[in-house]
Amino acid sequence: MRLFYSVLLLSALLIACGGKDEGENQKQDGQDSTVTAGGAVAEPPAQMQDTLPESSPSTSSQAATPPTTPAQPEPAPVASQPATAPANLAGSKPNILLIVSDDTGVGDLGPYGGGEGRGMPTPNIDRMAAEGMTFFSFYAQPSCTPGRAAIQTGRIPNRSGMTTVAFQGQGGGLPKAEWTLASVLKKAGYETYFTGKWHLGESDYALPNAQGYDFMEHAFLYHANAYTYGDPTWFPDMDPKLRAMFDKVTKGSLSGKAGEPAKQDWKVNGQYVNTPEKGVVGLPFLDDYIEKSGIKFLEQAAKNKGTPFFININFMKNHQPNMPAPEFKHKSMSKSKYADAVVELDTRMGRVMDKLRELGLDQNTLVFYTVDNGAWQDVFPDAGYTPFRGTKGTVREGGNRVPAIAVWPGKIPANMRNHDIVGGLDLMATFASVAGIKLPVNDRAGQPIYFDSYDMSPVLAGTGKSARTSWFYFTEDELTPGAARVGNYKAVFNLRGDDGAHTGGLSVDTNLGWKGAEKYVATVPQVFDLWQDPQERYDLFMNNFTERTWTMVTISQAIEGLMKTYLQYPPRKLQSESYSGPITITEYQRFQWLRDQLEKDGVKIPMPTGN
């Protein structure tokens, strides 16, 4: 049975398992699982290497019984969380400051070859890299909402149902039953604060102050360009009735304490206006409010140094339309709007870091900076730059590999460069580890839960490597991955954006993401060696000189291990859906057959074919 057929079969797994509906998501919190220090759990991916068959799969053309892979152990509820953090981090229970920017490209920042070399100096981010650890194989998700959901929950987005971009007026959002970084750290006695872009739904139960954050100030629920939809100067041809609808349903800046209804501070538009007293503030000024809220949170937390804090600051820059605040216009070397916006982001991050040092909090604070998704090449030049193939919205490296820097004086060695496979998913297990707690085994409604999170604390301490050896790439509602990386090899099944063009030594001809055609491989994937070919130009799967068909043994096993977790931990109902093209009558009639096959045969990926 070809691999693609198995992927098609698994696409109906959500139906067979019965994804949780919205009513279940909104149930009153059930029993919270006990969260205690210690307790190690095994992680399936690391065991894949030990279960490989001793002989190679047969390449004979004659009929034969296909080889099978050994049975995998039942999935543990956490991918990887050691019993204790490394000795120099154990019991430290540091303050945690998480800074996330929007759509910023790997190639924009100084530590990654950008900065001054691209006409947009980033001295404050450069300093963070010099004082801490910079990650070069750090992964996000390919768009805003999934990327932020993965960071907050430590779970691949299809588990929470947060698989695609949330738009205004849709309602819903992050299910009430999900754990977040804040709700887990609350169990460890942390005070928790949120400001900036949330983009995880509009319903009251989905807002930060209902998801574990004690204080929420100036939270924004959408991508930046969403605030221009109701603005007649942007879209004069829009039907007035549609504009009125956008004005009505689009929420502005939201603030509120946990347990209290959120209040709207003011509306947001796409103009250079800063009139909160009149009830409206324009996009160019939002990051000023976010910066000030972050600094206020630090000052508030400094008054109670006996209580650790978790502060999550989420800047709106650098999502299009990039409209730098007036004081940053033409402040970059290149004088472009995007470059000015990067300089603004760097400056505001620098002010937050300066305040942390001024308050004497820096020595006991783990600072982590990253981005929600890869650069959005569809809208270039009002977008970040990536040296990798693809863009936001695709499973290519350009849509998923993002900047990440960690700083913790005296704990994280200075000026370190790390190339382990890690990502935003891993912040959950990492923060829990340094806080001295174990992740829950049940969700907030009392149902079993699985975290796709690996503890990075040995990496941060410089005492070991990440236990993660694989990464799975998803777009929108994919249940099984559109691409998978194991070690340095990556298999690509979803060819969105460039139709899987064989580029060889040529540059990639297109950077289309969501605007590109949806296309999957027929039988065999493309395979790339990301060490030798990080730009994914040379497909090695069946190249006569460098053929790498055998890589699908380990990659298929990794995918199979992931798929098995869905049986014990079924995904939730999708929280945001839109029409993406016709469903054929054949597909409709195939659903019942797929259910029957899953029930009869279970989940199985055969060995690779194609020779």
Instruction: Show which residues are catalytic.
Output: 144, 199
Distance CA 403, CA 109 (A): 8
Residue 251 token pair = 């929420």
Contact predicate 459/189, CB 8 Å: no
Alpha carbon 572 to its chain centroid, in Å, reads 17
Alpha carbon 484 to its chain centroid, in Å, reads 15
Query: Going by C-beta distance under 8 Å and a sequence separation of 6 or more, which residues neighbour residue 251?
Result: 168, 202, 221, 264
Query: Going by C-beta distance under 8 Å and a sequence separation of 6 or more, which residues neighbour residue 335?
Result: none
Q: Return the closest-CA partner of residue 143 out of 519, 474, 510, 577.
A: 474
Please name every residue paired with 310 in a beta bridge, in sequence order, or none if there are none. Answer: 96, 192
Helices (H), ranges, 263-383: 286-302, 337-358
E strands of 465-538, at which residues? 470-473, 483-486, 489-492, 526-529
Distance CA 57, CA 67 (A): 6
Contact predicate 420/393, CB 8 Å: no
Q: Return the closest-CA partner of residue 124 out of 395, 288, 369.
A: 369
How are beta strands 422-423 and 138-139 bridged, if at all?
parallel
Residue 345 token pair = 């982001």
Contact predicate 337/322, CB 8 Å: yes
